[in-house]
């Protein structure tokens, strides 16, 4: 994995072309422009009118009890740091796609794709919905937001062309809740990266990737049900640098469900710079989800 540092969000040197975020006089397909006209949606889930993109309401499902009510939520993507978007730039996404901009693909299918302006083989239809300038066109799509109409949830899907490829635009999610280790996960603490995997109901394998290219292998079992990582000399894995908290990340074993969990910090005390999970699989978006792509920091929120 690449060593990706969490950026200092106190400063910003955005240099993105403002034409990307203004109304285009020509309305060329090379620019994203503000939504102005009525949109004909192909999705029968909604009536075909512009009013369907103001979904701050509740509705009853015909297939459920009258008392069963669900809310059609939107998703707000806000730029906190970096030059993928303008500073404090906000995109609103609803069940059909981008709401406050006209997508480059001109489709409202529940998908919102972010990447450079490139086209399909016919050289007519763009691949992405929102143009990002500061990437190479060899990466077709950096990430995608998908709405699942059955589960009524939004999902983050990174690098949809090759999810196993390692590049400067890897996607990380900040751990806000304890994460059960159900598969092999790659974790970033800044310069320190490690993988962690539950081998069986009782054993855990942890690989720490060092700056010099070496790998340190650690094996734990339930005889030690709490593993700590940080700069404190009492930690099981010591990271001797001030960029890490005394106890930056902890891993513990839950006897009830026979599962290991990983969390940021320890107890109720969070780490200083966060524990970041490398995402190469669909991730359900919840409230106040912090997303890191290279040196760019974004916030995803349900509204």
Count of structural domains, the chain = 2
Average pLDDT over residues 253-257: 93
pLDDT tens, 93-146? 999 999 998 999 999 999 999 988 888 877 788 999 998 876 666 778 889 999
Whether residue 59 has pLDDT greater than 70: no
State how far the Cα of 194 lies from the Cα of 177, in Å rounded to an integer. 19
Burial class (CB in 10 A: 0-12, 13-18, 19+), 292: buried
Contact 99, 53 (CB under 8 A): yes
Residues 107 and 161 in one domain: yes
The whole-number pLDDT of residue 134 equals 65
Please indicate, yes or no, whether residues 250 and 138 belong to a single structural domain of this protein: no
pTM as predicted? 0.75
User: For residue 180, what is the domain's CATH number?
Assistant: 2.60.200
Q: Are residues 39 and 158 in the same domain?
A: yes
- For residue 253, give its domain range: 176-274
pLDDT, mean over the chain: 78
Is 268 inside a domain boundary? yes
Residues 155 and 193 in one domain: no
Residues 83 and 226 in one domain: no
Q: What is the CATH number of the domain that holds 42?
A: 2.60.200.20
Residue 128 lies in a domain: yes
pLDDT band at 22 (very low <50, low <70, confident <90, very high): very low
Most confidently predicted of 67-71, 189-193, 201-205, 265-269: 265-269
Q: pLDDT tens digits for 194-223?
A: 999 999 889 999 999 988 888 999 999 999
């Amino acid at each position: 994995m690449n060593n990706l540092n969490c950026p200092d969000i106190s400063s910003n040197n955005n240099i993105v072309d403002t034409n990307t975020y203004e109304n285009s006089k020509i309305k060329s397909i090379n620019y994203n422009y503000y939504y102005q006209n009525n949109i004909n949606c192909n999705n029968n889930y909604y009536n075909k009118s512009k009013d369907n993109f103001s979904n701050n309401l509740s509705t009853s499902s015909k297939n459920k009890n009258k008392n069963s009510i669900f809310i059609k939520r939107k998703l707000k993507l806000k730029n906190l740091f970096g030059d993928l978007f303008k500073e404090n730039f906000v995109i609103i996404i609803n069940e059909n796609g981008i709401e406050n901009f006209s997508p480059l693909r001109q489709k409202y299918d529940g998908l919102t794709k972010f990447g450079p302006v490139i086209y399909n083989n016919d050289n007519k239809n763009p691949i992405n919905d929102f143009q990002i300038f500061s990437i190479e066109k060899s990466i077709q799509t950096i990430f995608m937001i998908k709405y699942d109409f059955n589960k009524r949830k939004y999902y983050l899907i990174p690098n949809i062309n090759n999810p196993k490829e390692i590049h400067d635009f890897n996607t990380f999610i900040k751990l806000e809740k304890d994460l059960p280790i159900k598969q092999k996960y790659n974790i970033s603490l800044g310069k320190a990266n490690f993988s962690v995997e539950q081998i069986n109901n009782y054993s855990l394998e942890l690989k720490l990737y060092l700056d010099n290219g070496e790998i340190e292998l650690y094996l734990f079992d339930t005889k030690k049900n709490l593993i700590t990582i940080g700069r404190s000399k009492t930690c099981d894995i010591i990271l001797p640098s001030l960029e890490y908290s005394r106890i930056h990340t902890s891993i513990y074993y839950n006897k009830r469900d026979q599962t290991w969990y990983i969390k940021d910090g320890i107890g109720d005390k969070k780490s200083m710079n966060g524990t970041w999970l490398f995402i190469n699989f669909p991730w359900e978006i919840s409230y106040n989800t912090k997303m890191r792509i290279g040196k760019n920091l974004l916030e995803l929120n349900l509204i």
